[in-house]
Homo-oligomer: A and B are copies of this chain.
Amino acid sequence: MKLTFSFSKRSGLIALLIGASALGVGLVTAADTESDLLARAKQVFRPLPPTAHVDDFPHSAARVELGKKLFFETRVSTDGRTGCVSCHNPSHYGADSLPRSVGVHGVLMPRNAQTVFNTPLLVSQHYGGNRVSVEEQAWKALTSPFAYGNKTFAEAEAKLHTLGYKPLFEAAFPNEKEAVSAQNWAIAIGAYERTLLTPAPFDQYLKGDTKAISTDAKAGLEKFINYGCAGCHNGSTVGGQSFQKFGLVEDYWKATGSVEIAHFKGYDKGKFHDTGKEEDKWIFKVPQLRNVAMTPPYFHDGSVATLDDAVRVMARVQLGRQLADQEVRQIVAFLGTLTGEVPKQFKEAPQLPVAAFQRP
C-alpha cells in the first residue's frame, strides 16, 4: 500500500504568537500594576482555544470514540501491553512520571514522555520535533521499535482486523473502501487527542478575571515575563511553539549531571539526531508548560525530579540567573495556575473490543 498520507498542515497561528511574544518580553518594568501585568500577559500568552480540531483532519463523534479506544488499545503492539496510554496515563496527567518511558518489550526509551494534553496545539511533536502533527506521531509509532514494534503497517492493520475493529472504523470512516488502515488509525487517534485540552485558572486570568490566580502567582508571572522565561514559553500552550538551544549560557548536561544515552551514542543532542545538521546540535523543542506542576520528572531526560529544581536549572542554564528561594516559589505558584482538569473523556477508561491478544 502506498502511503501518500500527509500530516504536515498547520495554521499560521504560530508566526503570530512568536511575534506577540517578542513584543511582550521586551517590556521589562520594575513593578506592574494589576492591569499593567494583565495587559502584558495578554501580549505574550493567550487562552486555550475551545478545540484543537482543524479542517485538515475532519472529525466526528464516531471518529473521536474510535480514537479513544485506539489510544487505550495495547494489543496492536508486539508485546500486547504497549500503546499510547502506556506513556500517557490518566493517573499521571497524560504523562507517566518516569524519567524515561518504557516501550514495547520493556525497552527503555531514549527520552521522557511529555503529557498528551494540548499537544495538537504545539508546533510539532517529540522533543526533537520530528513529527509534524499528533496524527503523524500516532501513525509512525505503529512501526517504531520503541513504541508498538510492528515491522510493517500491514502487520498492525491485520491486528486491528483480528481484534474486531472493522465496524468501528467503518462507522468512523464511512464510504471508504478500506476503512481499517494505519492512516485512519492515526486520524482517529488525532481526532480524540484534539479533544484533550485543559483550560486552567490562568485562562480565566487572561480573560480578565484577575482574582483567578493568587498574589504569589501574579508575582511569579511578572518574573516569568521579566526574566525572559516567556521569550520561549509563550502562546496558548506556554511553550511548545519554537525550538531553542538547551544550555544557552551554561552546559545543561554538566549542570544537572545528566547521563549519556546509549541510543544517542553519548549525550542527547536534540534535533541533530533527526537532521544530522551541525546547527541542530543541542536544539530541542521548547516544552509546553501547561500542567507542568503535575508531570514530573522534568526535561528530555527526566533528570530533574521537582518543579522547584527545574525552575532553578532553567534560570541558570538558559538565562544565567541564580533565582532566590522566594522567586522560585512565586514562579512555581504561577506555573501551578496552568494546571487544568484531567478531561473526563481521558479519565474514564473505554471498554475495548473483547478478543484475545495473539502473541506472535
* CB 8 Å contact bits of A58-83 with B (1 = contact, 0 = none): 00000000000000110100011100
Tell me, yes or no, whether A1 is within 8 Å of chain B by CB.
no
Q: Is A145 an interface residue (CB 8 A)?
A: no
B356–A297 CB distance below 8 A: yes
* Closest chain B residue to A351, Cβ basis: B91
* A350 touching B91, Cβ below 8 Å: yes
Shortest CB distance A31–B (Å): 32
Question: A93 CA to B98 CA in the complex, in Å?
Answer: 26
Q: Of B98, B347, B352, which is within 8 A of A91 by CB?
A: B352
Asked if A114 lies at the interface with its beta carbon under 8 angstroms from chain B, I say no
Contacts of A355 in B (CB 8 A): 97, 296, 305
Interface of A is mostly: loop
Contacts known (A348-B348, A355-B296); A81 close to B91, Cβ less than 8 A: no
Copies of this chain, whole number: 2
* Given A105-B106, A349-B91, A349-B349; A357-B98 close (CB under 8 Å): yes
Q: Is the CB of A81 within 8 A of B98?
A: yes
Cβ of A53 under 8 Å from chain B: no
| B356/A296 in contact, CB under 8 A | yes
A354 within 8 A of B: yes
Q: Which of A32-73 contact B (CB under 8 A)?
A: 72-73
Cross-chain contact of A81 among B93, B102, B354, B358 (Cβ < 8 A): B102
1/0 per position for A285-323, CB-CB distance to B under 8 A?
A: 000000001111100001001100000000000000000
Q: Does A86 contact B (CB under 8 A)?
A: yes
A342 at the interface (CB under 8 A from B): yes
A positions within 8 Å CB-CB of B: 72-73, 75, 79-81, 86, 89-93, 96-100, 102, 105-106, 293-297, 302, 305-306, 342, 347-352, 354-359
Complex A-B: 28 CB contacts under 8 Å: A72-B91, A75-B97, A81-B98, A90-B349, A91-B350, A91-B352, A92-B352, A93-B351, A97-B352, A97-B354, A97-B355, A97-B356, A98-B357, A99-B356, A99-B357, A99-B359, A106-B106, A293-B354, A296-B354, A296-B356, A297-B356, A305-B355, A305-B356, A306-B356, A342-B349, A347-B348, A347-B349, A348-B348
